[in-house]
Structure 1
Amino acid sequence: MQTQALFREDAYAEGNSAVVVESSEAGIVLDRSVFYPRAGGQPGDTGAILWEGGEMPVADTVKAPDGSALHVPAAGAAIPPVGAKVTAKLDWTRRHRHMRMHTTLHLLCAAMPGIYATGNQIGADKSRLDFDLPDPPAKEWVTEKLNELIAGDHPIGERWISEAELDANPGLVRTLSVQPPRGAGQVRLVRIGTEEAPIDLQPCGGTHVRRTGEIGRVEVVKMESKGKQNRRIHIVLAEDAK
Structure 2
Amino acid sequence: MTLLFRDDPYLKQAEATVVESGADGIRLDATLFYPNGGGQPGDTGRIDWEGGSVAVTDTRKAVPLVENGPDILHIVPADSPLPPPGTSVTLHLDWERRHRHMRMHTAMHLLCAVVPGAVTGGQVGAEKSRLDFDVPSASLDKDALEEKLNELIRADHPVRERTITDQEMAERPELVRTMSVQPPTGSGSVRLLQIGTDDAMVDLQPCGGTHVAHTGEIGPISIIKIENKGKQNRRVVLGFRD
TM-score, normalised on structure 2?
0.95
- 2:3 alignment partner, one of 2, 5, 13: 5
Residues 5-53 of structure 1 deviation map (CA, whole Å, 9 limit, x = unaligned): 1100000000110000111111111101110000000000000110001
- Cα-to-partner distance string for 1:154-199 (whole Å, 9 max, x where unaligned): 0001111111100000000111122212221110111000022210
Residue deviations 1:132-153 (CA, integer Å, cap 9, x gap) = 0113322111111100000000
Q: Does 1:95 align with 2:93?
A: no
Name the structure 1 match of 2:238: 235
Q: Which segments of structure 1 move beyond 2 Å, counting only runs of 4 or more?
A: none
Q: More displaced, 205-214 or 136-145? A: 136-145
**Secondary structure of 1:43 counterpart:** coil
Query: Does residue 158 of structure 2 align to residue 162 of structure 1?
Result: no
Q: Match for residue 229 of structure 2?
A: 226
1:178 match = 181
Distance (whole Å) between structure 1 residues aligned to residue 186 and residue 59 of structure 2: 22
| Distance in 2 between residues matched to 1:232 and 1:75, nearest whole Å | 36
CA RMSD of the aligned region, Å? Answer: 0.9
Q: Which residue of 2 aligns with 1:150?
A: 153
Q: Spell out the pairing of 1:52-201 with structure 2 (5 A cutoff).
A: 52-66=50-64, 67-113=70-116, 115-135=117-137, 136-201=139-204
Alignment counterpart, residue 217 of structure 2, candidates 211, 214, 229:
214
Separation of aligned partners in 2, 1:193 and 1:79: 44
In the aligned structure 2, how far is the partner of 1:183 from the partner of 1:72? 28
1:102, CA displacement in angstroms?
Answer: 0.1
Distance 1:145 1:196 in 2: 20
2:98 and 2:165 mapped to 1: Cα distance?
29
For the pair 1:28 / 2:31, whether they are aligned, the reply is no
Q: Is the partner of 2:57 in helix, strand or coil?
A: strand
Q: Is this contact kept in 2: 1:189–1:203, CA < 8 A? A: yes
- Aligned residue in 2 for 1:42: 40
> Aligned-pair distance for 1:75?
3.1
Q: C-alpha separation between the residues in 1 aligned to 2:236 and 2:154?
A: 20
Identity %: 56
Contact 2:23 2:78 in 1 (8 A): no
Tell me the amino acid that sits aligned with residue 16 of structure 2: A
Q: 2:210 and 2:22 mapped to 1: Cα distance?
A: 27
Aligned partners of 1:7 and 1:179: how far apart in 2? 22
Please identify, of 169-178 and 199-208, the stretch whose mean Cα deviation from structure 2 is larger: 169-178
Aligned length: 236
Could you list the runs of 5+ residues in structure 1 that have no partner in the other structure? none
- Write the letter of the residue equivalent to 1:68: D
| d(CA) in 2 for partners of 1:77, 1:106 | 38
**Structure 1 Cα separation of the partners of residues 72 and 186 of structure 2:** 18
